[in-house]
Amino acid sequence: MEFDTIAAISTFPGEAGIGIVRISGEDALEILSRIFRPFKKKDIKAVKSHTIHYGHIVDPETGEVYDEVLVTVMKKPHTYTREDVVEINCHGGIVVTSKILELVLRNGARLAEPGEFTKRAFLNGRIDLSQAEAVIDIITSKTMLANRYAQKQLAGVLGQKMRELRDKIMGLLSHLLALIDFPEENVEELEKSEIKKRAEEILKDIEKLIDASESGRIIREGLKTAIIGKPNVGKSSLLNALLRQERAIVTDIPGTTRDVIEEYMSIKGIPIKLIDTAGIRHTDELVEKIGVEKSKEVLAEADLILFVLDSSRELSKEDYEIFDIISGKNVIYVLNKIDLPKKIDETELKNLVGNGIIVEVSTIKGLGLDRLETEIYNLVFKGRVSAGEEDIITNARHKEALMNAKKYMESVLEAIEKGFSEDLITIDVNGALEEIGKITGETATEDVINQIFERFCIGK
């Protein structure tokens, strides 16, 4: 494909050691030759690909020297975008980088849109859509584990998986077409059972990928962990202790926290989104009341609840009410303030908790926090994250496409069961094929593609 020449600052806009202005497209070298004066006399357009050159960036109209730079010349096709790419490594700094960019734009380039370099890599066929999405995931990774999955996706592991799935669906399709074309009695039964077998296998593959996607979301976005409890039990103290930072206000006044506070931490590489909430109780005070409502919303959406109880006091009506609203959720019971004499009735507590996990802590003394972290880790890893670590779907868009493909395959099987005609079945098989193609981008619409690249930063 042929595009115009684009340019952008690819480094973080701020004071830094170096800044990079990147240019990509047919005119990249021509533009460079107008504004770059190499220290060793040479024709910059004729240099070898993937070489670095030392010199000045000079305004050709005024002769003003903008900066002393190193210029990387990368000629197509072995470049990020598959076009000619030039990177001007100048001094980092808002003025010098934006002045050089301005000069580049004045000499024939257009300002790149967010993600446009990567979009070209996709449109020029160097990477598939899932690999382009991996680039954003790498940039926004919150832990090394998330980065590891994104790197795999960038390497094309997911795309490969999708191509295998597509091949299987194509195989199924050709069997169906054979039946339509040669509807002879004797082949029919044999073919039909073959078709059914293949359809079932495809459905199973898709289901396996969907199952692993919940873990994928956790790896990307973090395990939503809500700290819940009545006022003054030490929820904010627990947040601070786990973060090892005085993030939330702690006082001995019940009802201190009114708003939802979110922070990230990592337990052995799993990103945890810790959410401190207002203590849940009945109140007429307006601000606190809104806070309590928010706590309940957070509770409903959380992957995991840390239900904090005060061991230095007896269980109260407020605690009981919280036991009611958390039923059915993933809960770890955190028995706080164990540095104080115990007043809580442990038999009563054990009855309420059943075989749930109780962890005793003192946020003030820093006791029990390691065990709490281990329990959180075990809960996540024992259950879901460990399953199918190999091919994990971390992206909601991919999951949606797989869910749709699953629906199509289910109706394929239903249609086979009911003895519908082959051409009817073919429609659903094609539907599944199209959904799988959305993941790698073969059948993704322009809108979807644009939405994906809008999430990028400028210069990538």
The contact set with ligand GTP (CB under 6 A) reads 229, 231-237, 250-252, 254-257, 278-279, 336-337, 339-340, 362-364
Angle (nearest 5°) at CA 288 between 348 and 262 = 80
How far is it, in rounded angstroms, from Cα 132 to Cα 441? 10
Cβ proximity to ligand GTP, 158 vs 322, nearer residue: 322
Closest to 193 (Cα-Cα) out of 429, 424, 413: 413
Least Å from the CB of residue 250 to ligand GTP: 4
Structure token pair of residue 350: 């054990």
Least Å from the CB of residue 212 to Mg ion: 36
How far is it, in rounded angstroms, from Cα 278 to Cα 314? 20
Least Å from the CB of residue 324 to ligand GTP: 18
Least Å from the CB of residue 275 to Mg ion: 12
- Size, binding site for Mg ion by CB under 5 A: 4
- Count CB neighbours of 200 within 10 A: 14
Tell me the residue ranges of DSSP E strands in 311-429.
331-336, 357-360
340's contact among ligand GTP, Mg ion, none, with CB below 5 to 8 A by partner kind, is ligand GTP
- Contact between 363 and Mg ion per CB under 5 A: no
Angle (nearest 5°) at CA 74 between 72 and 79 = 130
How far is it, in rounded angstroms, from Cα 5 to Cα 23? 7
Closest to 225 (Cα-Cα) out of 187, 276, 293: 276
Residue 179's contacts (CB-CB under 8 Å, 6 or more residues apart) are 187, 188, 191, 192, 195, 422
Cβ proximity to Mg ion, 227 vs 380, nearer residue: 227
How far is it, in rounded angstroms, from Cα 357 to Cα 355? 7
Least Å from the CB of residue 237 to ligand GTP: 3
CA distances from 167 to 172, 330, 437 (A): 9, 39, 11
Structure token pair of residue 182: 């040669």
Cβ proximity to ligand GTP, 338 vs 416, nearer residue: 338
Structure token pair of residue 227: 């700290």
Place of tokens 């199952």: 211
251's contact among Mg ion, ligand GTP, none, with CB below 5 to 8 A by partner kind, is ligand GTP
Least Å from the CB of residue 288 to ligand GTP: 9
Least Å from the CB of residue 21 to Mg ion: 47
**Per-residue x/- track, 192-231, Mg ion (CB under 5 A):** ----------------------------------------
| Residues in region 231-250 near Mg ion by CB under 5 A | 235-236
The span of 167-175, 257-265, 307-315, 317-325 binding Mg ion (CB under 5 A) equals: 257-265
**Residue nearest ligand GTP (C-beta atom):** 279
Q: Are 7 and 109 in contact (CB under 8 A)?
A: yes
How far is it, in rounded angstroms, from Cα 106 to Cα 90? 18
- Contact between 257 and Mg ion per CB under 5 A: yes
Cβ proximity to ligand GTP, 68 vs 293, nearer residue: 293
Least Å from the CB of residue 255 to Mg ion: 8
Place of tokens 């470049």: 79
Please give the biggest Cα pair distance in the chain: 87
Angle (nearest 5°) at CA 156 between 9 and 173 = 130
Least Å from the CB of residue 247 to ligand GTP: 11
Cβ proximity to ligand GTP, 190 vs 253, nearer residue: 253
Cβ proximity to Mg ion, 210 vs 364, nearer residue: 364
Cβ proximity to Mg ion, 225 vs 257, nearer residue: 257
Cβ proximity to ligand GTP, 120 vs 230, nearer residue: 230
Cβ proximity to Mg ion, 5 vs 240, nearer residue: 240
Cβ proximity to Mg ion, 291 vs 437, nearer residue: 291
Helix (H) / strand (E) element for 161: namely helix 157-181
Least Å from the CB of residue 361 to ligand GTP: 7
3-state DSSP assignment of residue 317 = helix
Place of tokens 């993600």: 115
How far is it, in rounded angstroms, from Cα 198 to Cα 353? 46
Interface residues toward Mg ion, by CB under 5 A: 235-236, 256-257
